[in-house]
Each structure stands twice: as structure tokens, then as C-alpha cells.
Amino acid sequence: MSGGRPRSLGGGGQHHVLDYLKRMQSENPAFFYAIQPDTDHSTGGATMFWADATARMNYSYFGDTLVFDTSYRTHRYRVPFASFTGINHHGQPVLFGCALILNDSESTFIWLFQTWLRAMSGQRPLSITTDPDRFIQTAVSRVLPETRRRYSKQGIVRETQEKLAHIYRSHPMFETEFKKCINETETIDEFESSWQSLLQRYYVMDNEWLQSMYNARQQWVTVYLRDTFFGELSVTDGSGGLNSFFDGYVGASTTMQMLIKQYEKALASWHEKELKADYDTTNTTPVLKTPSPMEKQAAGLYTRRIFMKFQEELVETLANPATKTDDSGTITTYRVAKFGEENKAHNVCFNSFEMKATCSCQMFEYSGIICRHILAVFRAKNVLTLPSQYVLKRWTTNAKTRAVLDEGASESPKDSRESLTVRYNNLRQEAIKYVEEGAKSIHIYNVAMDALREAANKVADRKNQGSGGAQGGNLTNGSSQELHVAEDNTSATFQSTDEKQRKIRELTAELESTNQRCEVYRANLLAVLKDMEEQKLKLSVKVQNARLSLKE
């Protein structure tokens, strides 16, 4: 990748994007965008960042791990597009923001990460996955110094294919063995042995590229990263973090004029997939495979995909017996291995007083889902339900309930712009929760409406108690790249009580109308999804009948 060279887009495409960002921000004050100051007087244009209200809210739920995907930034693509993404409670990609990087430089990436962090109210992720670009790495270390960094495994594999093209051509099995070495080794010793064996087998012991990758192994080989949460649903997952939110929507032929349309298509598509996953989780019952109360408990807690992963681990305990190897009072150590694979045993330490267990495979630390080895120990110790510390809220059906961001006991002037955003987002989240819950039934709807009316009256009473002046804030962003809080203590004017009550009645009526539309939309959506399931079932029966006819 090139460094420090501006990208020239031409054709007024940048203005097309900027007009879109301005329009979106004017329609919704929680839409954030910023433009990098032109300090270098670049002719290629200014780097832009944006995140809509949904992206910012999703980050408050799923901001524990972050992927910064810059694969579109290479000159093979016409648009230097980058995305900030994560993983939602269904294991699907979720968007946290986008950028157009028109100047590859260290200062650009530092500005970009600082701007992104401001848009996310200063909440830092536990881990981040990026390309091993030196400018990006410098920016991450400066802006997110405590966040665990990981190189994209996809990027490493892709560059290895380019650097070792001659070996790939002359030795077709090299790629398979290389991926097996980095994806399927379960311990550091096993990786080290496998790596050395691979180099010797293909006579590449002195290859500079492979040596440089080996030197950086702690930042991209899974066995070195398992002590940190990255949200991958398999310890041996070969994806390496890039979850491809825009795959199929942004490609080599995408122009700047096409970008916003494709961006919105991707948003709509993933939103639809999330709705479908929500529907499946809420309206279908998973098939239980054991009589375990823990399995039934998990079925009611987790989203469907996460439950299926947990169920897989639980069923595997039948083939992975736990053998006690040490007992020192409260701490008991077990050796857990699959029948016939005793050489791949894992050690589990169980604290009976705290009901905590740690496993050498570190699957829970890495993916947030408890492993078969700990579950085997729970089975041996007659632990019938999952201890609460092993149920991450981010994987449950309640993942999107209120996310509280700690602003601290006091608020300094420099923090006022961030806290205004926090207050706005929190209020918006609470309002959306009432709409979502209130639309489920007429009884809950009436309860929600009564609560909103009572809240509206309390807000009005509170405002009436003000004496002589008021402090207010306007949420603005954009070309100034800042969230400003405008305070006016001298010229505040008050509406009369009658005007306020009239306004409350208007807003209440509007909310009732919105709730009614939500109920209609929800009913229509459920009907469509139900019809889709019925059509799929009918088609499956037809296919099965056709196959039987062919056999006859």
C-alpha cells in the first residue's frame, strides 16, 4: 500500500458524498460527520468520516471488538473507502462508521481514529483488527493505546500469496499446509513445531517475508491472541476478523457517484438479515438435544445462532470426559480430552467457591462462549445451570437493552460536547425501547403511552421550575468537525404553560400515530416472514418428492 500519496477522485464525486452527509445530518442531529482540515493543502481532496445514529447506538451495544477494514483503499479500487465494523448478537457484521481516505498519511489516520472515537462518545474497544499498515498501527497505538491490536489474517494470507507466488505455483499443497498451521494449531508449542516443519519441508527457512511474519506472530496467529475477546465464534476461525460488511456492494468498479447508493443498499440488506434473525430467535423453538437444564436455560437466553454454538459445545461434553488431576481445596484441576485424542487434552481449573473455571483453550476469553472442556467439568461437578459470569449480554436476546455510558459524577466544560451526545443517545434509546415494546400488544401499548404522558408532564413541570435563565445545547457537527454546546443564560424565553401543554398533546398524538404505524408494519413484516417460511417448506417438499420420483 502506498503511503502519503493523495487520491484524486475527480468528477465532483466528493461533493456528491458531502451533500449526502449534510442532508442526513440536517434530518437527524445524531448523524455525525467530519472532514479533515486541509493542513497539507492536498489536491486530492479532504478525508471524510461519518456514522449514522444506528451505527453509534449499535456501538454502545457491541463496541467490545472493532474491525477497521481498509481493503478498498488499494489502487485496485476506484473509491478509497474504509469501514469501522463489529459483530452483533447474531454473529452478523454491524456497522460503526465509514470513511473516505483521500490521503494516506500518519496524520490522516490519527485524525480519523480520534474523530471516530469522538463520535462513539469516547468508548474504547477491547480489541481491534486492522491491516498491518505502519500508518494505521501508529494511529491505533496513539489513539487506542490500551486496545489489543490484531492484524487481519485475511490480509496476511493475501500478501503471502503475492510474496510467495512462485512457491504457490510450484507447490500446490503449500497454501493448505500454511493455513492449517495458522488456523488449526491449538497451543503455542504446536504452532512453533508446525511452522518450523513447514519451512523445512518447502525449503523456505531464509525467506524474508515469512521471517517478518513469524516475528509479528503474536499479532495475527490465533494461539497468541486467545486471551482477548475478538467475538469470533470459532477459536480456529480462519477469517481473521474482516467480516465483509460491504462485500458484494462496493467493488473495483464502484465509483464515487455510486458509493452512497451501494452504501445504503448494504445497510438495508444487513438490517433485513438482522430482522430475520430476530424473528427466528423469537418465533421458533430450537430442538433440544439433551435433558440438561443448562441447555434449556441457554435456549431462552441466547440468540439462535449463539445457542446453536453453545449446544454444539454442550453435546461434545459426552465425548470429552473430565478427569481430576489435582485437588487443593477450593481449586480443582481437571484434564479434559476427547476419546482417542488424549494427546490434545486441555486443562481446566475449577474454583468451587466462586463457581468459576478457566480452560487452557481460552475459548470463552476469545469468543465469549463457554467451551466443551469447562462444560465437561460442570457436568462432573453437577453444575446444572450456567453461572451468570459465563453469559455475555452481547450474545443474548437482551443485547440491545439500555446501554449506560458512565459520564462520571461531574462534567467539565471540555466534556460537555461528548456528554450532550450521550444524553441525546440515551434518551433516544429509551424512547425507541418504548416504541418497540409498546407495539407488541394493545395492553403494553397503553402502559407505554401512560408512562410517556406522565414523563412528558414531569419534563414540562421541571422546565417550569427554571428561574430567570436556562442552559441549552444544540447538537451540531459537520464541516466544523466538533460537537458544540451553545449556552445562553441571558436571553432565554419561555412558552406559556398553555403552549407547552398544547405541544405535549401534539407530540403525544404524533407518538400514538407512530405506534399504530409500527404495529401495522410489525404485523405486515411477521406475515411476510411467515409466508416466506411456508413457501420455503412447500418448495422443500416439492424437491423431496421430485427426488423420490427420480429414484423410482
The tens-digit pLDDT sequence of the chain (552 residues) is 434 445 545 445 788 899 999 999 999 999 999 999 865 555 456 899 999 999 999 999 999 999 999 988 765 777 889 999 999 999 999 999 999 998 889 999 999 999 999 999 999 999 999 998 899 999 999 999 999 999 998 888 888 999 999 999 999 999 999 999 998 898 999 999 999 999 999 999 999 999 999 999 999 999 999 999 999 886 545 455 555 889 889 888 888 889 999 999 999 999 999 999 999 999 999 999 999 999 999 999 999 999 999 999 999 999 999 999 999 888 999 999 999 888 889 999 999 889 999 999 999 999 999 999 999 999 999 999 999 999 999 999 999 986 444 333 333 333 444 445 555 556 655 666 566 566 666 777 777 777 777 777 777 777 566 533 333 333 335 544 433 322 333 333 334 566 666 667 667 666 666 666 565 556 566 656 666 666 766 676 676 677 666 766
The residues pairing with 129 across neighbouring beta strands, listed in sequence order, are 67, 150
DSSP string, 350-406: EETTTTEEEETT-HHHHHSS--HHHHHHHHHTT--S--GGG--GGGBTTTTS-----
CA-CA-CA-CA dihedral for 12, 14, 18, 20, to nearest 10:
80
Closest by alpha carbon to 150, among 245, 247, 229? 229
Give the CB-side neighbour count of residue 230, counting CA atoms within 13 A: 36
| H or E stretch covering 347 | strand 346-351
**CB contact at 8 A, 84 and 98:** yes
First CA to last CA distance, the chain: 60
| CB hemisphere CA count around 432 (13 angstroms) | 13
Task: Determine the Cα–Cα distance for residues 192 and 199; give it in Å rounded to an integer.
Answer: 11
Q: Which is nearest to 313 in space by CA: 302, 326, 323, 327?
A: 302
* Cα 131–Cα 132–Cα 134 angle in degrees, nearest 5: 120
Give the span between the Cα atoms of 279 and 298, in whole angstroms: 18
> 148 - beta bridge partners?
127
Q: SS3 of 103, please?
A: strand
d(CA 442, CA 448): 10
Instruction: Please tell me the total number of residues recorded for the chain in this structure.
Output: 552
State residue 506's pLDDT score: 66
- Asked if 149 and 137 count as a contact pair (C-beta separation under 8 A), the reply is yes
Other beta carbons within 10 angstroms of residue 381's beta carbon come to 16
What is the grid cell recorded at 538?
412447500
Task: Please state the separation of Cα 171 from the chain's center in Å.
Answer: 38
From the number of C-beta atoms within 10 Å of its C-beta (0-12, 13-18, 19+), residue 125 rates as: buried
What are the respective helix, strand and coil percentages of the chain, to the nearest 5? Answer: 50, 10, 35
pTM recorded for the entire structure: 0.73
Ramachandran bin of 51, using left for φ above 0, alpha for ψ from -120 to 50, beta for the remaining angles: beta
C-beta atoms surrounding 459 within 10 Å: 12
Residue 486 to residue 427: CA distance in whole angstroms: 19
